[in-house]
């Protein structure tokens, strides 16, 4: 298998563009209202703070690619906390209200609490606190939950792909135990990081037998489990359609055990479709980016670990924000370059995935999830 994979470092080196040409002659201050070419606002910023991870989830960082010879980014390539916060402030001025820290494993980034503290000081255009959250594999959460909460983190999402220990160890591929993730979840709840969401990526034939046990385990606990369809992100996870279990089937199985009813979205552009237990034991979500594209409302932009912007999770090229941050450009110039980029956005890969020609054209050029951030 290994020989068919394009080295990911090469992808990083070649597939990005300068943003300098997007700076217009006449600079306009941000208004908090920015729309792309399909009328989609910019609402949600995902920041990858490291490309490293201590797990090797089979659907994300398979060991045959991310092995001991794999070259991760050197520290000088990473955006500093000051650079990240400066960029975030400009995005917030354009209307971003939600920031999610991700990776790789974000809790591996040294002093991540410090970054949380810096970002938590930002306010939305209407003067409200940001929705500041983080996605983690929870391996370090029991140790860090309290400090993250004290630094201003509002919520946390934890990835857990099975409640059965053997299945989970097989999925994370580093022999990490379910009980240690559960300890992280408990610590986060005790610290007041709520509502806590648990993300489970479903691979047919690998962990789909865990759907109902996961629902059963977390029912009534206040934790919202979200079942995610296995996606064709990146070029290394050996994705195939046969391993995707459509969300409709997830809902059917849970409903048969614990009757469900649909509930509305919390806000426009929410990725998860929400369902609640008819007996009042809480809610679940399904994220159906393969079987039911939600590009029409997609208001997300992604900032990679080394400061490149991606307009879509399935993008094949990034835009070099770091160059602007490090070349003495003013905030107004950079804000205008960001506006120009968003205003020309047309991305809608999930709507196009069913076209074999488009899928094939992108197949080996998509950016890895662990680099761009989930």
Nearest approach, Cβ of residue 270 and ligand SF4 (Å): 11
Task: Return the half-sphere exposure (C-beta side, CA atoms, 13 A cut-off) of residue 105.
Answer: 18
Residue 157 annotated in ligand binding: no
Using CB under 6 A, which residues numbered 286 to 325 contact ligand SF4?
289, 294-295, 298, 300, 312-314
Measured from the CB atom, the residue of 16 and 314 that comes closer to ligand SF4 is 314
Least CB distance to ligand SAM at residue 74 (A): 20
Query: 3-state secondary structure string, 240-259?
Result: CHHHECCHHHHHHHHHHHCC
Interface residue with ligand SAM, options 193, 231, 337, 341 (CB under 6 A): 231
**Which range touches ligand SAM (CB under 6 A), out of 9-17, 22-30, 53-61, 306-314?**
53-61
Nearest to residue 152, comparing CAs of 116, 192, 126, 111? 116
> Are the CB atoms for 334 and 340 separated by under 8 Å?
no
> Known binder of ligand: residue 334?
no
Q: Does 60 contact ligand SF4 by CB under 6 A?
A: yes
Known binding residue 298? Answer is yes
**From the list ligand SF4, ligand SAM, none, which binds 237 (C-beta under 5 to 8 Å, kind-based)?**
ligand SAM
Cβ-contact 301, 311 below 8 angstroms? yes
Q: Which of 140, 134, 109, 102 minimizes the C-alpha distance to 120?
A: 134
Is 204 marked as a binding-site residue? Answer: no
Instruction: From the list ligand SAM, ligand SF4, none, pick the one residue 148 interacts with, judged by a Cβ distance below 5 to 8 Å according to partner type.
Output: none
Residue 166 annotated as binding?
A: no
Note whether 347 and 27 are within 8 A (CB): no
Does position 62 interact with ligand SF4 (CB under 6 A)? The reply is no
At its nearest, how many Å lie between ligand SAM and the CB of residue 228? 5
Residue 341 makes CB contacts below 8 A (sequence gap 6+) with: 19, 22, 309, 311, 319
The span of 51-59, 188-196, 214-222, 241-249 binding ligand SF4 (CB under 6 A) equals 51-59
Burial class (CB in 10 A: 0-12, 13-18, 19+), 170: middle
Binding of ligand SAM by 370 (CB under 6 A): yes
Q: Does 160 bind ligand SF4 (CB under 6 A)?
A: no
295 binds, among ligand SAM, ligand SF4, none (CB under 5 to 8 A by kind): ligand SF4
The widest CA-to-CA distance across the chain, in whole angstroms, is 61
| Residues 363, 62: Cα–Cα separation, whole Å | 17
3-state helix, strand, coil in the chain (%, to 5): 35, 15, 45
**Count of residues interacting with ligand SAM (CB under 6 A):** 20
Given 105, 208, 273, 333, the residue binding ligand SF4 (CB under 6 A): 105
φ and ψ at 283, to 5 degrees? -135, 165
231 binds, among ligand SF4, ligand SAM, none (CB under 5 to 8 A by kind): ligand SAM
- The token duo for 50 is 């490291």
Cβ atoms of 259 and 277 within 8 Å: the answer is yes
Q: Residue 136, interface with ligand SAM (CB under 6 A)?
A: yes
Please select the residue that binds ligand SF4; options are 8, 53, 88, 206, rule is CB under 6 A.
53
C-alpha to C-alpha distance for 352 and 281, rounded to whole angstroms? 37
CB of 322 to ligand SF4, least distance (A): 21
Out of 103, 184, 282, 307, name the contact with ligand SAM by CB under 6 A.
103
Q: Are 189 and 141 in contact (CB under 8 A)?
A: no
Does 288 interact with ligand SAM (rule: CB under 6 A)? no
Q: Is 326 annotated as a binding residue?
A: no
Selected from 59, 81, 275, 310, the binder of ligand SAM by CB under 6 A is: 59
Write the DSSP string, 85-143.
HHHHHHHHHTT--EEEEESS-GGGSTTHHHHHHHHHT-B-TTSPBPEEEEEE-STTHHH
Contact residues for ligand SF4 (CB under 6 A)?
53, 55-57, 60-61, 103-105, 137, 159, 289, 294-295, 298, 300, 312-314, 347-350, 370
Q: Which residues are annotated as a binding site?
A: 46, 53, 57, 59-60, 100, 104, 135, 159, 197, 231, 295, 298, 300-302, 312
């Amino acid at each position: 298998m290994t020989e068919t994979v394009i080295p990911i470092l090469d992808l990083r080196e070649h597939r990005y563009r300068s943003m300098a040409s997007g700076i217009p002659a006449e600079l306009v201050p941000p208004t908090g209202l920015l729309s792309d070419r399909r009328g989609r606002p910019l609402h949600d910023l995902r920041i990858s703070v490291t490309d490293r991870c201590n797990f090797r989830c089979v659907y994300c960082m398979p060991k045959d690619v991310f092995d001991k010879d794999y070259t991760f980014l050197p520290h000088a390539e990473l955006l500093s906390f000051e650079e990240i916060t400066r960029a975030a402030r400009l995005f917030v001025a354009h209307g971003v209200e939600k920031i999610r820290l991700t990776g790789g494993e974000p809790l591996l980034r040294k002093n991540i609490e410090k970054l949380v503290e810096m970002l938590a000081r930002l306010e939305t255009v209407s003067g409200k606190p940001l929705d500041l959250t983080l996605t983690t594999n929870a391996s370090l959460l029991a140790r860090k939950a309290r400090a993250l909460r004290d630094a201003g983190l509002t919520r946390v999402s934890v990835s857990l792909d099975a409640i059965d220990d053997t299945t989970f160890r097989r999925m994370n591929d580093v022999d990490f135990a379910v009980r240690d993730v559960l300890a992280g979840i408990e610590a986060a709840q005790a610290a007041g990081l709520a509502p806590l969401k648990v993300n489970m990526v479903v691979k047919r034939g690998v962990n789909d037998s865990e759907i109902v046990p996961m629902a059963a385990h977390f029912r009534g606990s206040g934790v919202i489990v979200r079942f995610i369809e296995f996606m064709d992100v990146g070029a290394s996870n050996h994705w195939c359609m046969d391993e995707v279990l459509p969300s409709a089937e997830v809902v059917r199985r849970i409903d048969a055990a614990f009757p469900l009813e649909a509930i509305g979205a919390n806000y426009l552009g929410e990725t998860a479709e929400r369902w609640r237990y008819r007996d009042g034991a809480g809610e679940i979500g399904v994220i159906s980016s393969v079987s039911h594209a939600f590009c029409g409302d997609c208001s997300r932009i992604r900032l990679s670990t080394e400061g490149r912007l991606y307009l879509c999770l399935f993008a094949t090229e990034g835009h070099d924000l770091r160059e602007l941050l490090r070349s003495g450009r003013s905030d107004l110039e950079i804000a205008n370059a960001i506006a120009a980029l968003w205003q020309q956005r047309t991305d809608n890969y999930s709507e196009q995935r069913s076209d074999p020609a488009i899928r094939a054209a992108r197949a080996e050029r998509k950016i890895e999830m662990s680099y761009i951030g989930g």
